[in-house]
Chain A
Amino acid sequence: MAIDTLVRPDAGAQAGAKVNDFSIAVATANGTGSQTANLTLLRSFFKMGIPVHGKNIFPSNIQGQPTWYHIRVSKDGFVARRPPELLVAFNRDTMHQDVAMLEAGGVCVYNSDLRLNEGRSDLTYYPVPVKELLAGVDVKGKIKEYIANMTYVGVVAHLLGVPLDVIEGALEHHFGKRQKLVDSNFEVVRLAYDWAVANVAKADPYRVEPMNATEGLILMTGNEAGALGAVYGGVSVSGWYPITPSTSFIDALRDFLAKLRHDEDGRPTYSVVQAEDELAAIGMVVGAGWAGARALTATSGPGLSLMAEFLSLAYYAEVPAVVWDIQRVGPSTGLPTRTSQGDVGFAYTIGHGDTKHVLLFPSSIEECFEFGYLAHDLADTLQTPVLVLSDLDLGMNNWMGKPFDYPERPLQRGKVLSAEEVAALGDWGRYKDVDGDGIAYRTLPGNPNPAAAWFGRGTGHDEMARYSESPTDWEQNMARLARKFDTARTLVPGPAIEEEPGAQLAIVAYGTTRYAIEEARAQLAAAGVATSFMRVRALPIGDEVRDFVARHEDLVLIEMNRDAQLTAILRDELPEFAARIRPIAHLDGMPLTAAWVLERLMPFLPEEARRLMEGA
């Protein structure tokens, strides 16, 4: 995210010091409680006012397997993944490989019980005697293992200059009212910190200094933000089936609903049902949408494929439904804990028989929240499924953002007729395009007017929702649905555009790739190479996307999949400009880095710009 007001760290800092600008990788074993330690570090930087972002890089295992946590600390507000300068090596199985990955000049804090051989002379090593430090701590077994990770928090705090009270504050935030846990964890942090003060001579340039760049900001995962948005969008029914990385979306949804949605008698004004599979999860959502309640499900690729038949039916019977697809990599188990933008092509036309769906592409927690309620407004207004395509990186990681704006627009429930309105109309027909926008009027079960009834079906139907196999009825109905999709173009969020005068290249992207791209653009700009940027936020595209493409002859579209899926969609929708949209498509499961983006942009830059970059 871009930081508007930056207070630069003290300019009088010692020469060569690298202040508030580095990346840390913490390598631990899964299930050892390292998450608490990592979040404590993350929140401590955040509390010091320094822009920060944390990424879980974890394998698909529950316990014992290697896991990494990357923390990006950036005074300039860049939060893309960046190869780490600092390593915390607390996992025996991966430590040699972890050390090998560090660039020259890197720092390695390691658990000396693991007997790492300090083989590289271009690194600074800080061994931490974890066993010895914990010897005096009065906890047993499993807890000891959990708490052991707090030792690196203490040592890193000393090395970087994080005040102890900030760490304590972060622990209080983490554990809430469970003071005992705050105390026991903090005791270990303090022990390690004091030990480091007495025994460790600082020999590296990395450190932090307080700023005020996170003032007023919040730190949240995309899944939490999306679920919260849905709650403020009035979601009342959810059917779901567990799948990483969408499960935490539903966990958050249930927590927020439990907090926020009760009637005077304390009864829940919502229902969340864990389904037997994704076929049933989406069935519940479509059933609830037909009956008039706002409903959603959250899933990932494999689950989405099981939803194809119901999404197709909902498109054709015109039932609102919201699906959050937190994208991961590949079929079956694929790379289940790695991020991707691989479902775009599938999601856009999922179904059979000319289906086309509204897709939203959130890129930040603010957009997750906004699209959380907007998705329901759009689904109700357009009487159709809306798919929100988030990804693992956004959904499961903590991101900074501005506190969310309360939705100012009332809930948009769309064209739903009451008993009286049906009576007043006289000749109401479920699929009649009265207003010319392709959107017909619907009624809900329970409407007391006997003339309000209609029969939902996937079979061919006429304007009155009567069974019909007439070729004309089919064609007219499909033409109306296409018209409705054109209406959708005018209702979905437009692109975010940053257009620079004299830009040498226009970059198009969507979702979380923005962070690496924004950082790369800043580096280009620093070298005197201006670029323009359009971040597509929804499909179908509207005039703004079209006009941007029309204005720029040199475009690249960066996305995280092999086959350049959005590129294909844009080329298809804008055939007259197809040739100018050139893809940079890439997927290895890892979020993009600015360095990678720069390298891949090079061939697309004009000669002169390339020279400027090489000189930079």
Chain B
Amino acid sequence: MDRAPKLNLVGLSKADYAAAPSTLCKGCGHNSVAAQLIQVAYELNLKPQDVIKLSGIGCSSKSPAYFLGQSHGFNSLHGRMPSLGTGALQANHSVRAIGISGDGDTGSIGLGQFKHMLRRNVRMVYIVENNGVYGLTKGQFSATADLGQSLKYAGTNPFPPIDICLEALAAGAGFVARAFAGDAKQVREVIKAGLSFRGTAVIDIISPCVAFNDEPDSTKSYAYGREHQRALQEIGFFPAQEEIVVADYGPGEMQVVELHDGSRMTLRKLEADYEPSDPTRAITRLRQADLAGELLTGVLYYDASRPSLAEASELPATPLSMLPDDTLRPSRETLSDLLAGYA
């Protein structure tokens, strides 16, 4: 007899968070991110019905079909997920949104929408599965490709890369993190923290493309990621309902960040003076790491002070999409009163 699967607090097994089997290449970094999203949703006891999945276009953007099959999802247009998400979340701010994009989708065609979404602070976890290449169209350079990098199809790249995290910082994002798809634990912890953030949580996940950009000298390859990853913090995430265990960490080496919903993120500072609340510092560290050929990972910036778009719009608790008809259509009297002013 099979053993009954383990259920989480909302009575779901891990399998309940699965979806259609992935059609992406074996070994693609995007698959590991999808797997971690399933794990995170299971561990956080998310109800799939309370989640929406959004994406643009690309191999990365296909992946919402491969996790949380019981959640509504929309695989939209190349580079346009931010606007679709903005409208969807203004219509229904009660759902948690997970957005999956690619470096082409965000850094090239969608750079404008990306930055404007950040200005507005639309509440969603915005994951860029960054492989430095256009996977789906078979190997062209993306805007995050390394300067001087050579690819079989695309030749040598003469342009410097756009750094997704720097762009996010410049646009005023309140949550900016980077992770490496090969580091499952870190990916999970960062996503968990991002889900608690009330605003856009940008997570740039270096997610190697094994088909077109996995040369060891590419900063978006597995080999490079493993060798050059330098984590800023060791992250521990504690959901609101879980007891927080802090005994392991020595004082002065860790920092507990309280998130919007009462859950906490513990950052174990590997650099004694790294402050995730200082955007200038974050920018400097990103630049330094780049020059040193390091892959800086962790929560680079965290500032929860800015309201989300739904909060700034002062939307009522009931989502606009669920308002009853008599709220939607003003009364008969209001119309005649109003028209009297035009007579």
Contacts and interface: CB of A to CB of B under 8 A. Distances in A.
B76 A446 contact: no
Contact of A283 (B20, B52, B76, B320): B76
Given A291-B87, A446-B92, A457 B50 contact: no
Interface string B85-108: 111111110110000000000000
Contacts of A363: none
A453 B72 contact: yes
B77 A452 contact: no
Could you say which interface size class chain A belongs to?
A: 35 or more
B239 interface: no
B58 to A, nearest CB: 12
A449 interface: yes
Contact of A313 (B70, B77, B318): B77
A283 B87 contact: yes
Contact of A287 (B48, B88, B316, B330): B88
Given A292-B91, A455-B65, A280 B75 contact: no
Interface string B13-26: 00010001001000
Interface string B55-80: 00000000011000111111111001
B74 A403 contact: no
A311 to B, nearest CB: 11
A404 B83 contact: no
B76 A313 contact: yes
B332 interface: yes
A292 B335 contact: no
A453 B339 CA distance: 43
A285 B87 contact: yes
A234 interface: yes
A270 interface: yes
Contact of A292 (B73, B113, B315, B322): B322
B87 A287 contact: yes
A268 B311 CA distance: 11
Contacts of A263: 316, 318, 327
B343 A287 contact: no
B320 A269 contact: yes
Interface string A254-285: 00100111010101111101011101111111
Contacts of A453: 48-49, 69-73
A445 interface: yes
A455 B83 contact: no
- Interface of B, helix, strand, loop or mixed by DSSP: helix
Interface in A280-301: 280-295
A267 B315 contact: yes
A236 B320 contact: yes
Given A239-B87, A283-B80, A452-B49, A232 B92 contact: no
Contacts of A295: 87, 91
Contacts of B112: 276-277, 280
Contacts of B332: 406
Contacts of B271: none
Contacts of B90: 237, 271, 273, 284, 287-288, 293
A288 B54 CA distance: 13
A283 B329 contact: no
B342 interface: yes
B315 to A, nearest CB: 6
A513 B322 CA distance: 41
A444 B320 CA distance: 12
A69 B162 CA distance: 52
B33 to A, nearest CB: 18
Interface in B318-343: 318-323, 325, 327-330, 332, 334-336, 338-339, 342-343
B343 A446 contact: no
Question: A228, A291, A410: which has the most chain B beta carbons within 10 Å?
Answer: A291
A382 interface: no
Interface string A379-415: 0000000000000000000000001101100110100
Contact of B82 (A280, A413, A444): A280
B120 interface: yes
A287 B49 contact: no
A447 interface: yes
Question: B76, B95, B112: which has the most chain A beta carbons within 10 Å?
Answer: B76
B74 A275 contact: no
Contacts of A291: 52, 87-89, 91-92, 321
A406 to B, nearest CB: 5
Interface of A: 216-220, 228, 231-234, 236-237, 239, 256, 259-261, 263, 265, 267-271, 273, 275-277, 279-295, 309-310, 313, 317, 373, 403-404, 406-407, 410-411, 413, 443-459, 466-467
29 contacts: A218-B339, A220-B342, A233-B329, A237-B90, A239-B86, A239-B87, A268-B315, A273-B86, A277-B112, A280-B82, A283-B83, A283-B84, A284-B87, A288-B90, A292-B322, A295-B91, A404-B335, A411-B325, A444-B92, A445-B321, A446-B94, A446-B95, A447-B72, A451-B70, A453-B71, A453-B73, A456-B72, A456-B76, A458-B77
Given A276-B116, A451-B70, 15 more contacts: A219-B342, A261-B330, A269-B320, A277-B112, A286-B76, A287-B84, A291-B91, A292-B321, A293-B321, A411-B328, A443-B72, A444-B92, A445-B88, A450-B49, A457-B75
